[in-house]
Structure 1
Amino acid sequence: MKKDIFIIGSGFSALAASCYLAKEGNTVTVFEKNSTIGGRARQLKKEGFTFDIGPTWYWMPDVFERFFNDFGKKPSDYYELIKLSPAYQVYFGIQDFVTIADNLKDIIKTFESIEKGSGAVLERFMSEAKSNYDIAIKNLVYRPGVSPLELITPETALKVGQFFSNISKEVRKRFKNQKLVQILEFPVLFLGAKPQDTPAFYSFMNFADFGMGTWHPKNGMYSVILAMEALANELGVKIQTNSNVEKIIVKQKKAVGIKVNGEEKFCDVVLSGADYHHSETLLDIEHRAYSESYWEKKTFAPSSLLFYVGFDKKIEKVEHHTLFFDVSFDKHAEAIYDNPAWPEEPLFYASFPSKTDDSAAPTGKEAGIFLIPLAPGIDDTEEIREKYFNIIINRFEKLTEQSVKENVIFKESYCVNDFIKDYNSYKGNAYGMANTLFQTAFLRPKLKSKKVENLFFTGQLTVPGPGVPPSLISGKLASELIQKNSTKR
């Protein structure tokens, strides 16, 4: 039965869902509060520079391929992918860095050169990680989180111990060198929790890293959003920007429409791809499935302080993606998860897309994106932002042994207050809800409202979890539930 469906938000999950639902013949309209689509994956253009405001890592290319294949398309029909070589670089001190190659064979050699015997250990670890990837990404994550039985398969039965161990423990059992440990713990940060709180099964992220490589879509991650918009348009989806949804209209415990820019509009189904907590505030209290205390108790992925910087020269001694792990990882993690506060000595990440992509900066100049992970909900002021820019840029100059501060043409910042203002993000989180043991699969907020018929949710706070590939999958899962569980007015 064809339905009239309204979707709130235009991030990866919402756009994915819009495509699947339109393909089934439904009438689909997307309402986006901002002036441009993309949700967290918007773009900043300034003085000839182009920055991805949100995600900058393109991992798990197979998930993107599977999405476009569902419509008889390929990513290459819409954008060009460049495999980064090297994938990224990690600084531990002055003239002390590890470069991660674009293939596992060379990464094994790098490990062996740092810790004797670790090459063979890494090979075995990656074989296990690939097995987990095949189970998780090709199967488990495409299940809607309705029942715990979804997790029980012949394959997962053999790995049950990995759900009760953690990444940190498993990595440290195998590797002694602290640099190698940190490099192997790094990918699970995309899941939003500390390695010691992330089930060992999630080592599949290490296969996503070392086994599949790091990619860059030409013209930036926003190319993927534009590709999804083009596909949605081909399928007949209507997208309305500058359309702030103020209320989800419920009658007789059934979602029947939305109030947008002061006007009531009616439909058969409402799907929210906006922040889940915010989406529920659009409902009267009696229709909300989760209380404020529920959200308070959950472990949220970090927020971020980001800087988008235009430099008037090329930056040396860095790769497209460069991580700075020259200070204590544990202390920074404590400031995010245990005692929320601004970190005294922050780890940070820098991306220089113009190393790969000429469109990111004018000739002879460099576009730099700097990111510090932070606890959500902490104080955010211009003074604090400026203080932390100086902290990281001074460290950057020292570690890379070059002067760059005097070469800044401009810098724009983005932090907790902006995540709240632009995305109605709970406490200004940047990545959603963390994938800890008790926040996995059926234990996450549901795709289908437990209290309101014809109301559904998608995105990083529901299944399967944080990150761009999981968001694409979330849109597919939500669309399948809508086809199966919704009714016409």
Structure 2
Amino acid sequence: MTPAANDRETAIVIGAGAAGLATAALLGREGYRVTVLDRLAAIGGRSGEETVDGFRFDTGPSWYLMPDAFDHFFALFGKRTADVLDLVDLTPAYRLFAEGHPPLDVTSGRAEAEALFESIEPGAGRALGSYLDSAAETYDMAVERFLYTTFSGVGAVADAELLPRYGELAKLLTVPLDSFVARRCRDTRLRQMLTYPAVFLSSHPSRTPSMYHLMSHTDLVQGVQYPQGGFTAVMEALHGLAVEQGAEIRLGADVAAITFQGRRATGVRLVGGEEIRADVVVSCADLHHTETRLLPKAKRTYPERYFAPRDPGLGTVLVMLGVEGALPQLAHHNLLFSSEWGPDFEAVFNAPEPARPLGASRSIYVSKPSATDPSTAPEGCENLFVLVPVPPAESLGHGDMYRAQASPAVERIADAAVAQIAEWCGIADLAEHVVVRRTLGPADFAERYNAWSGGSIGPAHTLRQSAFFRGRNRSKKLDNLLYAGATTLPGVGVPMCLISAENVVKRLRGDRSPGPLEER
């Protein structure tokens, strides 16, 4: 058993992904002696990186949104984002390939977005202006009231300033995003542009509360950036902060159980039997895994019956392609939207459509980071990252990034995606120029990250799984066991992981106020 080296309070953080590294940095800032444990051999968790024959692939997040969340987090350590990341503004923000239409470049900036909408549908520009006004107000309300809070008190929602907005808030929580958008415009492409952020929330547009129209503020107003080096650079920045604050990072350390005595967690036991004691334990592992695998039934806040009716969110097949030659047809970010938008989501979130026996969506995302970052591909080549939404089903199998071969289902989905990009984006000979191809499937997410049901992002942001309905960030059975990461509040995505780390500190301080911590 590992003893404490000094009289400082100790903390164990399970997981060295975005939430784990951010939590370690903040706990170190609070004076804790922190040990971070991760079963993998590298930091980053789902935000990983693999290099194959000179092509450097990010295997996780690729959209840098909510820059204010990153700015605030780094400011807590007296740093500017520019001190730790080299950000590039993307123009266009993304290119839209809508089935049956020529491609559209979507440029960030309110005036540019309104002009684009107006050019496609007369009157839609003005409607978008009103929509973005509401998105900005809702975004500010979320930051001030609902994201940086543990919901351990009533202060976040029971406030005189918020009282006049209760009626509006009720509508934003109960009216689904697709219905909210449909009132503003008729053109399918415009509706898709305003509802696709539901995918970033691991959710179906008809089940996503319209409160999340705030996401359009992030890409159409705040803008889209890219950190040179990809999200690996973001993870390295967080790792650097954690180490600066004294955290010890132990990789290849697989936690088998959280140990306890009475109502106190005492530490963890690793696979192999080593026990490490701590005054505080923070699990940034998947919540389902934490509760159902690392704790006995008597100490679970969220037993299996809690998860049964809940939505594990989106599954994905990731296809990483190294392509010989230039691909000017593609921008950095590219969205391919099927005209069968509804059936696409049904195929992923409900029973597969008869025409899609694999349950794969034809509305897919393609990133070409080599458009901005030459380090991602050898000279004269392009790097493509393709995300195909699929059901969160381990039965779809593995890819071949970490195995000798992919499952037949993942292979067929990857083949279909490459063919679709070739056809829709005007790259007829794409398959012939692919020199590297690697895939990941839902079973990889389950195996590598202990992801519930093989989901790739985290539980869907439905009404029952948003804000104060999403859960709590501290165990009800062990007073010093806390949670952070995409599977707890406030939600999915790297910015939310940073905020969840901050909420751990607020919980330990007994801080029930809404809003971010004070910056240095």
Q: TM-score, normalised by structure 2?
A: 0.90
1:299 to 2:321 alignment: no
Aligned AA (1:401): G
In 1, Cα distance between equivalents of 2:155 and 2:365: 39
Aligned AA (1:230): G
In 2, Cα distance between equivalents of 1:462 and 1:365: 39
Q: Do the aligned residues in 1 keep the contact of 2:267 with 2:277 (CA within 8 Å)?
A: yes
Residue 344 (structure 2) aligns with: 332
In 2, Cα distance between equivalents of 1:389 and 1:337: 19
Q: Do the aligned residues in 2 keep the contact of 1:81 with 1:218 (CA within 8 Å)?
A: yes
Would you tell me which structure has more helix in proportion to its own residues?
1
1:198 to 2:208 alignment: yes
Q: Deviations over 1:159-183 (max 9, x none)?
A: 2222221211111011011110011
Q: Do the aligned residues in 1 keep the contact of 2:396 with 2:443 (CA within 8 Å)?
A: yes
Residue 468 (structure 2) aligns with: 442
1:35 to 2:34 alignment: no
1:484 to 2:510 alignment: yes
Q: Do the aligned residues in 2 keep the contact of 1:197 with 1:437 (CA within 8 Å)?
A: yes
In 2, Cα distance between equivalents of 1:292 and 1:3: 33
Residue 370 (structure 2) aligns with: 354
1:430 to 2:464 alignment: no
In 1, Cα distance between equivalents of 2:203 and 2:119: 30
Change (3 A) 1:47 1:138: farther
Residue 283 (structure 1) aligns with: 295
What are the equivalent positions in structure 2 for 1:234-383 lying under 5 Å apart? Answer: 234-262=244-272, 263-280=274-291, 281-339=293-351, 342-343=358-359, 346-381=362-397, 382-383=407-408
In 1, Cα distance between equivalents of 2:470 and 2:488: 6
Q: Deviations over 1:3-35 (max 9, x none)?
A: 110000011111111111100111001001100
Residue 398 (structure 1) aligns with: 423
In 2, Cα distance between equivalents of 1:406 and 1:179: 31
Alignment length, in residue pairs? 485
| Consecutive unaligned residues in structure 1, runs of 5 or more | none
Q: Deviations over 1:100-135 (max 9, x none)?
A: 113221111111110011111111110111111111
Residue 23 (structure 1) aligns with: 29
In 1, Cα distance between equivalents of 2:173 and 2:480: 34
Q: Deviations over 1:317-366 (max 9, x none)?
A: 11111111134121121122222673265221110000011111111100
What are the equivalent positions in structure 2 for 1:213-232 lying under 5 Å apart? Answer: 213-232=223-242
Change (3 A) 1:147 1:138: closer
In 1, Cα distance between equivalents of 2:372 and 2:24: 32
What are the equivalent positions in structure 2 for 1:466-485 lying under 5 Å apart? Answer: 466-484=492-510
CA apart distance, 1:453: 2.1
Residue 54 of structure 1 aligns to a residue whose secondary structure is coil
Residue 102 (structure 2) aligns with: 96
Residue 3 (structure 1) aligns with: 9
In 2, Cα distance between equivalents of 1:140 and 1:344: 33
Change (3 A) 1:378 1:334: farther
Q: Do the aligned residues in 1 keep the contact of 2:360 with 2:390 (CA within 8 Å)?
A: no
Aligned AA (1:275): D
Residue 458 (structure 1) aligns with: 484
CA apart distance, 1:254: 1.3
Comparing 475-484 with 209-218, which one deviates more in the overlay?
475-484
Comparing 188-197 with 241-250, which one deviates more in the overlay?
188-197
Residue 64 of structure 1 aligns to a residue whose secondary structure is helix
Residue 309 of structure 1 aligns to a residue whose secondary structure is strand
Q: Do the aligned residues in 1 keep the contact of 2:53 with 2:436 (CA within 8 Å)?
A: no
In 1, Cα distance between equivalents of 2:432 and 2:118: 40
Identity, in percent, stands at 31
Q: TM-score, normalised by structure 1?
A: 0.96
Aligned AA (1:268): D
CA apart distance, 1:148: 5.9
What are the equivalent positions in structure 2 for 1:407-422 lying under 5 Å apart? Answer: 407-422=433-448
Residue 413 (structure 2) aligns with: 388
Residue 179 (structure 2) aligns with: 169
Residue 323 of structure 1 aligns to a residue whose secondary structure is strand
Q: Do the aligned residues in 2 keep the contact of 1:94 with 1:400 (CA within 8 Å)?
A: no
In 2, Cα distance between equivalents of 1:191 and 1:347: 15
CA apart distance, 1:372: 0.6
In 2, Cα distance between equivalents of 1:55 and 1:204: 19
CA apart distance, 1:94: 5.4
Q: Do the aligned residues in 2 keep the contact of 1:103 with 1:213 (CA within 8 Å)?
A: yes
Aligned AA (1:293): R
What are the equivalent positions in structure 2 for 1:69-218 lying under 5 Å apart? Answer: 69-93=75-99, 96-147=102-153, 150-153=156-159, 154-155=161-162, 156-157=165-166, 159-160=168-169, 161-218=171-228
In 2, Cα distance between equivalents of 1:44 and 1:19: 25
In 2, Cα distance between equivalents of 1:11 and 1:427: 19
In 1, Cα distance between equivalents of 2:394 and 2:276: 37
Change (3 A) 1:316 1:94: farther
CA apart distance, 1:207: 0.5
Q: Do the aligned residues in 2 keep the contact of 1:163 with 1:199 (CA within 8 Å)?
A: yes
Residue 197 of structure 1 aligns to a residue whose secondary structure is coil
In 2, Cα distance between equivalents of 1:243 and 1:199: 39
In 2, Cα distance between equivalents of 1:57 and 1:326: 21
State the Cα RMSD in Å.
1.6
Aligned AA (2:297): I
In 2, Cα distance between equivalents of 1:374 and 1:148: 38
Residue 196 of structure 2 aligns to a residue whose secondary structure is helix
In 2, Cα distance between equivalents of 1:93 and 1:290: 43
CA apart distance, 1:2: 4.4
Residue 362 of structure 1 aligns to a residue whose secondary structure is coil
Q: Deviations over 1:399-427 (max 9, x none)?
A: 12221101111111011111011101111
Q: Do the aligned residues in 2 keep the contact of 1:143 with 1:477 (CA within 8 Å)?
A: yes
Change (3 A) 1:433 1:200: same
